[in-house]
Amino acid sequence: MAFTIEELLLGASLLLFLSILISKNLGRFGIPALALFLGVGMLAGSEGLGGIYFDDFGAAQSLGTIALTIILFSGGLDTRWETTKPILWRGIALSTLGVFITAMLVGVFATYVMDFTLLEGLLLGAIVSSTDAAAVFSILRSSRIGLKNNLGPTLELESGSNDPMAYFLTVSFTFLLTSQGASIWELVPMFFLQMSIGAVAGFVMGKAMSWVINKIKLQQEGLYPALTLAMLLFTFSFTNLIKGNGFLAVYISAVLLGNSNFLHKGSLTRFYDGLAWLMQIVMFLTLGLLVFPSHIVPVLGAGLLISLFLIFVARPISVFLGMSFFKATFKDKVYVSWVGLRGAVPIVFAMYPLLAGVEKAEMIFNIVFFIVLTSVMLQGTTLKLVADWLNLSEEDNSLRTYALGAERGYASKNSLVELEMGPGWRSIGKPIVELGLPRTALIVLIDRHGSFVTPNGSTVLEHDDKLMIMVENDQELERVREALQ
């Protein structure tokens, strides 16, 4: 049945609106928005109430690839080097060694549960081996879960950087299954070549992006998002063209760009944050439309066994081995093991063997979809509960910091920090002049229940005030916090 462009746009707009509305109302019960988007897509699909028939895996894979690059880029822009640097190697170990171990364990287990050859089992393991950046970023940040021991940056770095490894393994095992006579030893030099080219391309493009944005001097500010989007897509496609890993290049370039000063930094970061959310919604809706619930029923038993093995055996083993080289408590490792969220990325990767004509690709796709749904519903709804149980949660003290001059492309030692007054702070009810703030720190604006107050020395602070404070460095910010709390 052919649809007109007006009918397609009407359907898309209704699905988007419905997804956001449902996530707003049901999200308060702890159900992850991503699962709700999937549910809406399935309800609108051919076996749901909507009756929309969609089975174009090629279009879905292309859309998913574009969406993933934008989500990774947005996550990279938000990655702060000062919080990532102390846990850099720990995150890299989880995103490489951890992914490999997970893929191998799940692959071997799948051969015993399903009628799979070892290569088919390893392909399934590779597809579900990485944690999902969209799922981790959205759930951790929207829930504002504060975590001790730098676990938050560790989880975000791992989820943002482990897709390249999972992608390489997925493509490699697909290649071995579809190419007679191919040897697994051919993959070793290919791995180092792809990762090396991807890393170099990401570094070069990250530096180039900042330079181009600051030097091009466009007349219209609205053209800067289009400019960065063009450079983002170029980074991914050109890196793949020269046999590098495009996902790795995109993430590294975004991290470098996000930690440099460039024109319209605040507005561009907000643009990509919103675009990443749009891509997540569109991707999960599309994947919901793509799945046929009746095809999942035959693999429910095996899918449940593999999913439970992944969550309770493979993921913990890979985390404990990957973090064994670094200082981490037993509770830290247990919590990182639990935050092994699978999202849309494995479903996108599961389309590669489908399009390549792998014999049992459809069965693998349905198992992967069930694993993702189980992971999001079981792990995604209990992140805060498990953090509290392990005594790893704390008040979310993450601060919104604005580097002065970043919007105009020049560096400044001063920053504006947004700090919300908490209950029981000793500064509540006191005038600013009596707080003993550092001499160079300055409260420049107060957001009081939606009204802005320009403070002076006699201004009395109230509960729930949001303070905009100018500071010179982190040490000064810490002295400000001590004075207020």
Residue 243 contacts residue 191 (beta carbons within 8 Å): no
363, 394, 425 - which closes a domain:
394
CATH of the domain at 420: 3.30.70.1450
Q: What stretch of H or E contains 48? A: none
- Answer yes or no: do 428 and 312 share one domain: no
Residues 208-248: pLDDT tens digits?
Answer: 999 999 888 888 888 999 999 999 999 999 999 999 999 99
Instruction: Output the average pLDDT for the chain.
Output: 83
Rounded (to 5) percent helix, strand, coil in the chain = 65, 5, 25
Domain, as residue range, for 419:
413-484
Domain count, the chain: 2
Name, in order, each residue with C-beta under 8 angstroms of 300's C-beta and a sequence gap of 6 or more: 370
Q: Which residues of 143-156 are buried (b: 16+ CB within 10 A; e: fewer)?
A: bebbbbebbbbbbb
Residue 456 falls in which region: left (phi positive, over 0), alpha (psi -120 to 50) or beta: beta
Assign residue 316 the CATH number of its domain: 1.20.1530.20
pLDDT value at position 108? 95
Query: Do residues 370 and 267 both lie within one domain?
Result: yes
Q: Are residues 423 and 289 in the same domain?
A: no
pLDDT of the residue at 25: 62
Question: Do 383 and 420 sit in the same domain of this protein?
Answer: no
Whether 406 maps to a domain, the answer reads no
The answer to whether residues 214 and 96 belong to one domain is yes
Same domain, 420 and 303: no
Tell whether 229 and 137 lie within a shared domain: yes
Q: What is the pLDDT of residues 102-146, one digit of tens each?
A: 999 999 999 999 889 999 999 999 999 988 766 666 666 655 566
Residue 408 lies in a domain: no
What distance in Å separates the CA atoms of residue 296 and residue 75, rounded to the nearest whole number? 32
* Terminal C-alpha separation, the chain: 64
Residue 401 lies in a domain: no
pLDDT tens series, the chain, 485 aa: 566 788 778 877 887 787 777 766 655 555 566 677 777 888 877 777 777 777 788 888 888 889 889 988 988 888 878 778 888 899 899 999 999 999 999 999 999 998 899 999 999 999 999 887 666 666 666 555 667 778 888 888 888 888 889 999 999 999 899 887 777 777 888 888 999 999 999 999 999 999 999 888 888 888 999 999 999 999 999 999 999 999 999 999 999 998 887 888 878 888 998 888 888 788 878 888 888 888 888 888 888 999 999 999 999 999 999 998 888 889 999 999 998 888 778 888 988 998 888 888 989 998 998 898 888 888 877 877 888 898 887 655 445 555 555 555 554 556 778 888 877 788 888 888 888 888 778 888 888 887 888 888 788 888 888 888 888 766 777 788 888 87
Return the exposure string of 164-199: e unless at least 16 CB atoms fall within 10 Å of the residue's CB, then b: bbbbbbbbbbbbbbeeeeeeeeebeeeeeebbebbb
Look up residue 256 and give its amino acid: L
* Selection from 336, 367, 379 nearest residue 159 by Cα: 336
Domain closes at, from 394, 425, 444:
394
Does any domain span residue 424? Answer: yes
Which tokens hold the place of 340?
Answer: 């092994």
Let me know whether 34 and 126 are in one domain: yes
Closest residue by Cα to residue 132 from 420, 379, 473: 379
pTM: 0.79
Q: In this structure, is residue 261 part of a structural domain? A: yes
> Is 19 inside a domain boundary?
yes
Concatenating the DSSP letter of every residue in 216-255 gives H--S-TTHHHHHHHHHHHHHHHHHHHTTS-HHHHHHHHHH
Look at residue 100 and tell me if it is in a domain. Answer: yes
**Domain end call among 338, 365, 394:** 394
Of 414, 120, 395, 77, nearest to 266 by C-alpha is 77
CA distance 167 to 152: 24
Length of the chain, please?
485
Residues 423 and 390 placed together within one structural domain of the fold: no
Residues 450 and 379 in one domain: no
For residues 246-270, one letter each, b for 16 or more C-beta atoms within 10 angstroms of the residue's C-beta and e for the rest, the string is: bbbbbbbbbbbbbbbbbbbbeebbe
Indicate whether 343 and 447 sit together in one domain: no
Q: pLDDT tens for residues 431-472?
A: 888 888 887 788 888 888 878 888 887 888 888 888 888 887
Angle in degrees, CA 426, 432, 437, rounded to 5? 80
The confidence score (pLDDT) of residue 142 equals: 58
Q: Are residues 327 and 355 in the same domain?
A: yes
* 224 occurs within a structural domain: yes
Residue 84, both tokens = 């990532």
